[in-house]
Amino acid sequence: MTEDLSFKNRVVVITGAGGGLGRVYALEFAKRGANVVVNDLGGSLGGQGHNARAADVVVAEIKDRFKIEAAANYDSVTDNAAGIVQTAIDRFGRVDVIINNAGILRDSSFAKMQDAAFESVVDVHLNGAYKLSKAAWPYFRRQNFGRVVNTCSPAGLYGNFGQANYSAAKMGLVGFSETLAKEGYKNNINVNCIVPLARSRMTESIIPPHILKNLAPEKIAPMVLYLCHESTKVTNSIFELAAGFYSQIRWERSSGQIFNPSPESFTAEAILDKWSSIVDYTDKPFNKVSHPIQLSDYNALIAKARQL
């Protein structure tokens, strides 16, 4: 039997943990001994309003079920992310894990999308994750330990009708995570992205009930906990998770086409001639299909990190 992955003496901050996926993560971390800061603004799906009840109910549930301390925080990730980390420090003296999970939706076709809808969605998902990570980073560096999980989406990786704002924010989080993973590596700070699909108020009006019934948020939580454990070395990775299916996403570069180095060969016509070779995903004798930015190349990463 594999050893239990305990989070005893660890302090976990989860944004948007008053419902949906974040609530399930909070309960799972607490069950395994973590002190959790349950952050939630308690607003509507579109981000309007606020209510302390969402976070309070989850904190009460944690205390009742697991007899362990948890703290509620009602700040918006956009307005006072530093205050969320401060809650962890004030109540539990440290911060070990942050889960950037808070999110809103303001869907509309791109043709009709208002600036406010674009900006507010980017603000919560991307800027909120930036601000919380920025506030936790000095603690992580000092203690040589930190775990960050950022929440991406299929809409970010693949695009989705009506979600230009959300897709931009979510894909922005991928690039953000990949850079933090590289910068955090030498301090044992792991940064990963998850791409979940789960039943919540975000999906209940768009996914049919017979599919929703298989999408319990409890099926996402195990990977989040695994990625945040002190024994887990995984970083700079993207995991797609739905209905109990777990997989990793990676980039793939075609074998491509090398052009003759003479300037006259760099023409639009040359591209036209060689197009099928540029987009060819089969190995060629001198050029192989490759998977850039894989952190399995740890040696190169360590060398780079030491120069910073």
For 123-141, the DSSP string reads IIIIIHHHHHHHHHHHHHH
Active-site pick, 74, 130, 139, 166: 166
Known active-site residue 185: no
- Count Cβ atoms below 10 Å from residue 258 Cβ, excluding itself: 11
Among 239, 215, 147, 225, which residue's Cα sits nearest to residue 187? 147
Using CB under 6 A, count the residues that bind ligand NAD.
33
Using CB under 6 A, pick the residue from 14, 85, 171, 202 that binds ligand NAD.
202
CA 237 to the chain's CA centroid: 10
Among 101, 207, 108, 195, which residue's Cα sits nearest to residue 157? 195
Among 291, 275, 294, which residue's Cα sits nearest to residue 283? 291
Active-site pick, 74, 139, 170, 182: 170
Using CB under 6 A, pick the residue from 203, 214, 257, 287 that binds ligand NAD.
203
Tracing tokens 């099926």 back to the chain, one arrives at 219
Burial status of residue 38 (CB atoms within 10 A of its CB: 0-12, 13-18, 19 or more): buried
Span from 59-67, 85-93, 174-182, 201-209 in contact with ligand NAD (CB under 6 A)? 201-209
Output the smallest distance, CB 70 to ligand NAD, in A: 16
* Distance from C-alpha of 147 to C-alpha of 231, rounded to nearest angstrom: 11
Using CB under 6 A, pick the residue from 11, 117, 198, 238 that binds ligand NAD.
198
Residue 91 parent element (H or E): helix 81-92
Residue 16 within binding range of ligand NAD, rule CB under 6 A: yes
Residue 200 within binding range of ligand NAD, rule CB under 6 A: yes
Known active-site residue 166: yes
Cβ-based nearer residue to ligand NAD, 104 or 301: 104
| Residues numbered 109-168 forming contacts with ligand NAD, rule: CB under 6 A | 124, 128, 151, 153
Residue 14 within binding range of ligand NAD, rule CB under 6 A: no
Residue 39 within binding range of ligand NAD, rule CB under 6 A: yes
Provide the mask over 75-114, with x wherever binding to ligand NAD is found by CB under 6 A and - wherever it is not. -xxx----------------------xxxx----------
* Distance from C-alpha of 254 to C-alpha of 106, rounded to nearest angstrom: 35
Residue 197 within binding range of ligand NAD, rule CB under 6 A: yes
Q: Where are the beta strands (DSSP E) in the chain?
A: 11-14, 35-39, 70-73, 97-100, 146-151, 189-197, 238-242, 245-249
Residue 172 within binding range of ligand NAD, rule CB under 6 A: no
| Residues numbered 277-306 forming contacts with ligand NAD, rule: CB under 6 A | none
Output the smallest distance, CB 143 to ligand NAD, in A: 25
* Binding-site ranges for ligand NAD (CB under 6 A): 15-16, 18-22, 39-43, 45, 47, 54, 76-78, 101-104, 124, 128, 151, 153, 196-198, 200-203
**Catalytically active residues, by annotation:** 166, 170
